[in-house]
């Protein structure tokens, strides 16, 4: 790191290592996690049309073109923020200003806020694409959607839920514990598909007894973004784990468990 790089740090190393900063960073990490937790619970209600005050199919109607443009802009904002801030090159630059212990929490907070903005400003497109009339089939689809969300939560727990959402980092920093280097592992579901978390989202978004044009737009664009995100994420994983991840890609399918793991 150059001398100029050292000068752009907004927080001095002395303060970053102080007890006050460690405690404030811990509180910040908890706050960011709570915002995330509220956001993901709201997301379930938003997509499934349950409990929350504004869902994917409610809100004031606007002209179709306006609704499509606004919704696409909202999803693009989330996609750009979520992808750019996750890249290693951005992290190397970003941590000149944001201390490493709270970098992940900051990423989680920004992602949550961009999603909350999407929920708030989403424009419904109420045209019905399909509407399942059979009550048994409708219940099956709702159950499948719930199962998708459960798969999302299980997948995060298998790869360290609290590290993924920043709490692990701020807790380690608080107690003065060194962060252990990333280790390649494939627990349980990851032996059958490389991205069970993303599979859960796809199931949750598409398993709908009533599919409106707005819901379809959301499901289609987010699914497209998932595939783009997988490509970017796997490029980073190959850089991080090398041949271990290359062999994993050859052995295990991306989303559908059609290949038997060795």
Q: Is residue 260 part of a domain?
A: no
Q: Is residue 258 part of a domain?
A: no
Q: Is residue 39 part of a domain?
A: yes
| Burial status of residue 33 (CB atoms within 10 A of its CB: 0-12, 13-18, 19 or more) | buried
| Burial status of residue 192 (CB atoms within 10 A of its CB: 0-12, 13-18, 19 or more) | middle
Q: Is the CB of residue 165 less than 8 Å from the CB of residue 104?
A: yes
Q: Is residue 216 part of a domain?
A: yes
> What local confidence, expressed as pLDDT, does residue 260 receive?
53
- Cα separation, 116 vs 70, in Å, equals 15
Print the SS3 string covering the chain: CCHHHHHCCCCCHHHHCCHHHHHHHHHHHHHHHHHHHHHHHHHHHHHHCCCCCCCCCCCCCCCHHHHHHHHHHHHHHHHHHHHHCCCHHHHHHHCCCCCHHHHHHHHHHHHHHHHHHHHHHCCCCCCEEEECCCHHHHHHHHHHHHHHHHHHHHHHHHCCHHHHCCHHHHHHHHHCCCCCCCCCCCCHHHHCECCHHHHHHHHHHHCCCEEEHHHHHHHHHHHHHHHHHHHHHHHHHHHHHCHHHHHHHHHCECCCCCCCCC
Give Cα separations from 185 to 130, 175, 191, 196 (angstroms): 41, 26, 9, 14
Give residue-wise pLDDT tens across range 139-189.
999 999 999 999 999 999 999 899 999 999 999 999 988 877 878 999 999
112 Cβ neighbours under 8 A, 6+ residues apart:
32, 35, 36, 38, 39
Q: Which percentage of the chain shows pLDDT scores above 90?
A: 82
Q: Is the CB of residue 171 less than 8 Å from the CB of residue 28?
A: no
Task: Give the position of tokens 């360290």.
Answer: 160
Q: Is residue 211 part of a domain?
A: yes
Domain with 7 in it = 3-251
pLDDT bin (cut points 50, 70, 90) of residue 25 is: very high
Q: Is residue 185 part of a domain?
A: yes
Number of domains in the chain: 1
The tokens for 182 are 């990333």
Tell me what the pLDDT averaged over the chain comes to: 91
Give residue-wise pLDDT tens across range 72-81.
999 999 999 9
Q: Is residue 94 part of a domain?
A: yes
- Cα separation, 170 vs 32, in Å, equals 11
Q: Residue 15: is its pLDDT beyond 80? A: no
Q: Is residue 259 part of a domain?
A: no
Question: pTM, whole model, 2 decimals?
Answer: 0.90
């Amino acid at each position: 790191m150059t001398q100029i790089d050292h000068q752009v740090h907004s927080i001095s190393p002395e303060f970053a290592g102080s007890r006050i900063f460690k405690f404030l960073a811990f509180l910040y990490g908890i706050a960011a996690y709570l915002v995330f937790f509220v956001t993901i619970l709201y997301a379930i209600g938003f997509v499934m049309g349950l409990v929350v005050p504004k869902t994917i199919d409610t809100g004031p109607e606007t002209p179709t073109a306006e609704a499509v443009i606004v919704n696409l802009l909202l999803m693009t904002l989330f996609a750009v923020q979520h992808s750019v801030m996750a890249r290693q090159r951005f992290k190397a630059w970003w941590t000149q200003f944001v201390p490493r212990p709270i970098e992940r929490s900051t990423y989680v907070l920004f992602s949550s806020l961009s999603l909350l903005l999407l929920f708030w400003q989403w424009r419904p497109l109420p045209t019905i694409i399909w509407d399942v009339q059979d009550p048994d089939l409708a219940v099956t689809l709702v159950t499948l959607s719930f199962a998708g969300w459960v798969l999302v939560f299980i997948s995060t727990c298998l790869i360290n839920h609290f590290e993924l959402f920043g709490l692990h980092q701020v807790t380690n920093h608080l107690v003065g514990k060194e962060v252990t280097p990333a280790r390649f592992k494939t627990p349980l579901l990851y032996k059958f598909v490389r991205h069970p978390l993303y599979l859960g989202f796809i199931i949750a978004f598409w398993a709908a007894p009533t599919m409106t044009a707005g819901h379809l737009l959301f499901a289609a664009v987010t699914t497209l973004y998932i595939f783009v995100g997988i490509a970017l994420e796997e490029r980073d994983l190959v850089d991080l784990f090398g041949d271990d991840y290359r062999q994993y890609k050859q052995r295990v399918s991306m989303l559908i468990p059609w290949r038997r793991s060795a």
